[in-house]
Structure 1
Amino acid sequence: MSKKNELLEIRKFCVDSNELCGIWKVIDEQRELLECLQTHSAETLQRCPWIEGWLARTDMFLVNLIRLLDLPDTAPGMGRFPRPWPGSYALKYQTPARSVSSVTTAFG
């Protein structure tokens, strides 16, 4: 399989997985998990503050992957989904220098 086709398969998987809610559902579920911990288990987050760090790094990875693949930050036709990041960390999302469209063009 060519690099172009591999990237297109990854993009398709990120869009079509999770009953067509795609990667946005995974991001939303991670954020919902943090909200649940904040609401129902705040003492756990206080004793184990690295848990929020884990979720923050996962969020940054997934959002950066969306951007690398030239996908919108919110799921098409689903309003404000995924929900906003609920954590205390100020997340730094990257805007990739090369998106899939430029990479696939380079691979012809």
Structure 2
Amino acid sequence: MDANTLYSHVRILLEAHAKDDVALREIAPLIARRSLEMNHLYEAMGFANRGEMGKFMSQHFPALASQKPSKVRWKKFLYDSIQATAPACEGCPDEDDCFRSECSLEWHRR
């Protein structure tokens, strides 16, 4: 899928689970856009860590957050939910094993 299609699918997924109008119209498109970046989603969103990202998602997308397994990262969860691979993960040797405490996201910068 191209970037525009990925963006649309992630946005639609988030919009379907938005808690309110702000999450629907402002936050869902922002997250979808940032999910295309080549770093971790929490970093792209400006959070210090994954815990902050989780709290943010629980606040704005509680039904979706309740479906996410605790050991799965948000970007992986979103892209798995739309049956796609995140651009940053495309071709990563660890893409199928994305539950580790450390991600080898640096692989694509080589």
Task: State whether TM-score is above 0.5.
Answer: no
Which TM-score applies when normalising by structure 2?
0.27
User: In terms of Rg, which structure is larger?
Assistant: 1
Structure with the greater relative contact order (CA < 8 A, sep ≥ 6): 1 or 2?
1
